């Protein structure tokens, strides 16, 4: 299974989701899932995660240090089983980059959120509270994604 999490610049939302989702997958023993994050834009390629995103993750007990921003596509986009966009604009950008309407493998990250679908808001222009809000969304949604993967494997 290969999963990609995509936002705009790959320095806030998608790297936070990558770190948390990797943690949840590892805890569930699903360490065979390949996971990457990327941005639809390349402005931050090679940079570390936004310092506020990293601080929020660190405060919650996660390790944000390995992340370096990259631009979508990472490898061949067709090789991903699931591509999760952080907001509707990212979803539209991904569909345009793919040259087609979104397919079942191209979804919104929060389609899995037990509190309901929608955008993961971009905290970049706000304060620390926005990053904490994103982390809470990412944690509960990551738990649901892992549960769906575990269930689909038991059903196979």
Q: Is 37 helix (H, G, I), strand (E, B) or coil?
A: strand
CA distance 112 to 41: 25
How far is residue 44's CA from residue 51's CA, in Å, rounded to a whole number? Answer: 13
Positive or negative: CA dihedral 45, 51, 52, 58: positive
Q: Catalytic residue among 7, 22, 50, 52, which?
A: 7
> Quick one: how far is CA 45 from the chain centroid?
16
Given the residues 87, 93, 113, 122, select the one marked as catalytic.
122
Q: Clarify whether 66 is annotated catalytic.
A: no
Give the 3-state secondary structure of residue 156: coil
Residue 68 annotated among the catalytic residues of the structure: no
The catalytic position among 13, 22, 52, 70 is: 13
Q: Are 135 and 57 in contact (CB under 8 A)?
A: yes
Q: Report the C-alpha gap between 45 and 49 in whole angstroms.
A: 10
Known catalytic residue at 81 = no
Catalytic residues: 7, 13, 122
């Amino acid at each position: 299974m290969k999963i990609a999490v995509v936002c705009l610049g790959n320095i806030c939302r998608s790297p936070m989701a990558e770190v948390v989702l990797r943690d949840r997958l590892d805890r569930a023993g699903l360490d065979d899932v390949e996971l990457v994050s990327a941005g639809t834009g390349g402005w931050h390629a090679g940079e570390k995660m936004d310092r506020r995103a990293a601080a929020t993750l660190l405060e919650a007990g996660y390790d944000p240090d390995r992340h370096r921003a990259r631009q979508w596509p990472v490898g061949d986009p067709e090789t991903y089983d699931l591509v999760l966009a952080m907001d509707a604009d990212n979803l539209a950008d991904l569909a345009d980059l793919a040259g087609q309407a979104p397919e079942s493998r191209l979804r919104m990250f929060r389609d899995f959120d037990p509190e309901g679908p929608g955008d993961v808001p971009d905290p970049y222009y706000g304060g620390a509270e926005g990053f904490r809000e994103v982390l809470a969304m990412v944690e509960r949604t990551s738990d649901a994604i892992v549960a769906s993967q575990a269930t689909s494997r038991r059903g196979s």
